[in-house]
Amino acid sequence: MALAEAQEQVHKQAPPAEAARERQRWIETLVAAGAAALAAGERDVARKLAKKLAQADKDGPASGLLLGSVHKAAGDHRAAIRAWGATRSPQGLDRIAELLGEHPGVVEPRELLECCPLQGTLLLVARELARSGETARAERAARLAAEQLGPTSTVCAVLAEVLELLGQDGKARLLREQAVAALLAPAPGGGPPAAANG
């Protein structure tokens, strides 16, 4: 916490040419301090750091990500999902997916879409519907997500998981094989495999 406060002062005193770099250091220091506070079980300290992050990183997801982690540490999974969803960021979506992997069904699919209005959330909704046995709705959500998001490796992995949950192991295996083949295929123009390009 003291290091974060010192870096805040450095940021405030920095000449205009260095202000952006010092602000970024301040954000990184706050994120690290928040993680350390959570690891030490100091949720109130982490919550205060999340408020500071909201000032330092007004347009970024850092504050919401930390606040979601504070809620998760407190056992309030619904509040964690709301905080992460409010960031509207891939990192927030990843954390929601991880939480739902650990605690399936903690929120209803409709609430999940309300908390995190990103296209990628449809994948999580499809997985949650499949886990709860709502086959037709899960297939519809998975199909819609695949159409909107395209065949990225993450989309293929979650869709394969949904297909397995729906008892369609053959289709899941085929989808995984196609995803691997696409990742290993040369990029257009004869360059390295697509996976090497990000």
Share of the chain above pLDDT 90, in %: 28
- Cα angle 36, 38, 41 (rounded to 5 degrees) comes to 115
Between 7 and 43, the more confident residue is 43
Asked if pLDDT for residue 109 goes beyond 80, the answer is yes
Residue with structure tokens 């699919």? 109
2 lies in the same domain as 98: yes
4 lies in the same domain as 98: yes
Amino acid 197: pLDDT:
45
59 lies in the same domain as 143: no
Enclosing domain of residue 22: 1-105
Residue with structure tokens 């209005």? 117
2 lies in the same domain as 100: yes
67 lies in the same domain as 134: no
Between 108 and 195, the more confident residue is 108
The span from the CA of 198 to the CA of 183, in Å, is 10
pLDDT (mean) for 61-76:
96
For 27-41, 129-143, 173-187, which range has the lowest pLDDT when averaged over its residues? 173-187
